[in-house]
């Protein structure tokens, strides 16, 4: 296995025992009866530090998973933590290939009977996308918790250590089972499908504007609200097992005076799908609409979503989707609609079947 793994146990005796067993080639071992949590680290500000690059105040993805854990010694009291580094990047550079690698590895880790839950450390910029992707493809009822930070680890009052503590406590909490991928930041818990980053710098940058939060958490003590009822995880039809890549789906952003050039360019490039980040309820200019109609005629699947931060984009309200051959994204933001469409296109190109996914997931 290419990832390095480290164990952080609840005390010196157990740590020595674990080291001995690891040296003997034994599988992962839990210390005492504490929950066994694996951290998969991917980078982000939570692993960020002061930058050496002139003009940049900090750099994401500098510290390793072990560095992060070392900054929260209290973890030893609540879990036996093992770590793996999947990648170490700013999540602005997250891509489909890393998603596939992460999803496959996460599925393997969750199958391990010696693991009770998983925490994924991640940058906040695309955390909601990775969370939703994993929510749709990873089949397990064990807790999966994603966590990030708004301040780099080296900054004054870094928020990462408390966020990690809360994330590990939540992953160790049986109440977090069967809820799909959860996101923890700033004492709040969000569902993957609902969560959005809504502020560039604030500590409480994450919200779940449509259906609300999954819960709250303070000093590791969680209060979880209603369970999600839409399809995900074990009930999901999607799988990455046999996938080496994902279909090309791009997003176009609408505004006053938006033309059709971008849409025509994407259709010529033969993308499989275009998501419209439309104005209002997923609308755009007449010129861009004509471009989208032509794209549909050329076999591109078009999904209408909205650039508006909350609300629903429904079929056949201001735009006649039946006549246009388009799909309405319902509650999904453009970036999440892209993920569902990519996965949907791995199964079908029928507009009717793809629309069903947007009703059910």
Site for ligand ASP in 275-334 (CB under 6 A): none
User: Given the rule CB under 6 A, which of 88-96, 250-258, 263-271, 296-304 is the region that contacts ligand ASP?
Assistant: 88-96
Euclidean distance between CA atoms 10 and 17, whole angstroms = 11
Torsion of CA 81, 82, 85, 90, to 10 degrees: -10
Position 124 contacts ligand ASP (CB under 6 A) = yes
What is the total residue count of the chain?
361
Q: Which of 59, 16, 8, 4 lies closest to 164, judged by CA?
A: 8
Taking the least distance from each CB to ligand ASP, the nearer of 74 and 155 is: 155
User: Given the rule CB under 6 A, which of 96-104, 120-128, 182-190, 309-317 is the region that contacts ligand ASP?
Assistant: 120-128
Taking the least distance from each CB to ligand ASP, the nearer of 172 and 183 is: 183
Taking the least distance from each CB to ligand ASP, the nearer of 99 and 238 is: 99
Euclidean distance between CA atoms 54 and 71, whole angstroms = 27
In the complex, what is the shortest distance from the CB of residue 185 to ligand ASP, in angstroms, rounded to a whole number? Answer: 9
Known active-site residue 45: yes
Half-sphere exposure of 113 (CA within 13 A, CB side): 1
- Candidates 42, 45, 82, 130; catalytic one: 45
Position 161 contacts ligand ASP (CB under 6 A) = no
Paired tokens of 173: 């909490």
User: Given the rule CB under 6 A, which of 70-78, 89-97, 98-106, 184-192 is the region that contacts ligand ASP?
Assistant: 89-97
Among 84, 116, 125, 188, binds ligand ASP (CB under 6 A): 125
Distances (CA, A) of 139 to 228, 294, 315: 15, 38, 30
Position 123 contacts ligand ASP (CB under 6 A) = yes
Among 31, 117, 143, 148, binds ligand ASP (CB under 6 A): 148
User: How many residues make contact with ligand ASP (CB under 6 A)?
Assistant: 11
User: Given the rule CB under 6 A, which of 67-75, 90-98, 214-222, 323-331 is the region that contacts ligand ASP?
Assistant: 90-98
Question: CB atoms < 10 A from the CB of 353, how many?
Answer: 11
Paired tokens of 268: 């010529």
Taking the least distance from each CB to ligand ASP, the nearer of 123 and 143 is: 123
Position 163 contacts ligand ASP (CB under 6 A) = no
Among 150, 181, 274, 319, binds ligand ASP (CB under 6 A): 150
Among 92, 95, 298, 350, binds ligand ASP (CB under 6 A): 92
Contacts of 177 (CB under 8 A, 6+ apart): 141, 142, 143
Distances (CA, A) of 128 to 55, 179, 254, 265, 314: 28, 15, 22, 28, 22
Beta-bridge partner residues of 145: 119, 182
Among 60, 83, 163, 313, binds ligand ASP (CB under 6 A): 60
Q: Angle of helix 351-360 relative to helix 334-345, nearest 10 degrees? A: 130
Euclidean distance between CA atoms 110 and 322, whole angstroms = 42
Question: CB atoms < 10 A from the CB of 352, how many?
Answer: 8
Q: Angle of helix 127-137 relative to helix 96-111, nearest 10 degrees? A: 50
Distances (CA, A) of 330 to 65, 225, 327: 37, 23, 9
Among 83, 91, 166, 346, binds ligand ASP (CB under 6 A): 91
User: Given the rule CB under 6 A, which of 123-131, 153-161, 168-176, 224-232 is the region that contacts ligand ASP?
Assistant: 123-131
In the complex, what is the shortest distance from the CB of residue 90 to ligand ASP, in angstroms, rounded to a whole number? Answer: 4
Site for ligand ASP in 28-57 (CB under 6 A): 44-45
Among 9, 35, 90, 220, binds ligand ASP (CB under 6 A): 90
Taking the least distance from each CB to ligand ASP, the nearer of 5 and 203 is: 203
In the complex, what is the shortest distance from the CB of residue 45 to ligand ASP, in angstroms, rounded to a whole number? Answer: 3
- Placement of tokens 């930041």 in the chain: 185
Beta-bridge partner residues of 305: 277
In the complex, which residues of this chain contact ligand ASP (CB under 6 A)?
44-45, 60, 90-92, 123-125, 148, 150
**Residues known to be catalytic:** 45
């Amino acid at each position: 296995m290419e990832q390095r793994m480290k164990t952080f146990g609840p005390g010196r005796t157990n740590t020595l025992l674990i080291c001995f067993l690891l040296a003997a080639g034994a599988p992962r071992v839990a210390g005492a009866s504490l929950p066994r949590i694996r951290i998969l680290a991917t980078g982000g500000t939570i692993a960020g530090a002061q930058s050496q690059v002139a003009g940049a105040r900090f750099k994401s993805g500098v510290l390793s998973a072990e560095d992060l854990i070392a900054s929260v010694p209290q973890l030893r009291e609540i879990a036996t933590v093992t770590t793996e580094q999947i990648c170490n990047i700013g999540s602005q550079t997250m891509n489909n290939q890393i998603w596939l690698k992460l999803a496959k590895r996460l599925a393997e880790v969750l199958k391990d009977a010696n693991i009770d839950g998983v925490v994924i450390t991640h940058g906040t910029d695309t955390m909601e996308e990775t969370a939703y992707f994993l929510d749709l493809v990873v089949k397990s009822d064990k807790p999966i918790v994603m966590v990030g930070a708004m301040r780099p680890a080296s900054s004054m009052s870094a928020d990462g250590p408390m966020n990690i503590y809360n994330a590990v406590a939540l992953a160790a909490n049986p109440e977090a089972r069967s809820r799909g991928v959860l996101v923890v930041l700033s004492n709040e818990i969000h569902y993957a499908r609902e969560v959005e980053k809504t502020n560039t710098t604030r500590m409480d940058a994450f919200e779940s504007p449509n259906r609300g939060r999954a819960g709250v958490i303070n000093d590791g003590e969680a209060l979880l609200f209603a369970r999600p009822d839409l399809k995900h995880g074990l009930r999901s039809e999607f799988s990455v097992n046999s996938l080496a890549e994902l279909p090309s789906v791009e997003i176009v952003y609408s505004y006053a005076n938006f033309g059709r050039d971008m849409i025509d360019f994407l259709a010529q490039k033969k993308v499989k799908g275009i998501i419209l980040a439309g104005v209002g309820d997923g609308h755009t200019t007449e010129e861009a609409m004509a471009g989208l109609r032509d794209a549909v005629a050329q076999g591109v699947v078009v999904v209408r979503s909205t650039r508006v931060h909350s609300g629903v984009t429904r079929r056949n309200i201001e735009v006649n989707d039946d006549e246009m051959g388009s799909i309405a994204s319902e509650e999904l933001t453009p970036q999440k609609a892209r993920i569902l469409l990519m996965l949907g296109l791995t199964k079908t190109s029928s507009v009717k079947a793809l629309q069903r996914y947007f009703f059910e997931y």
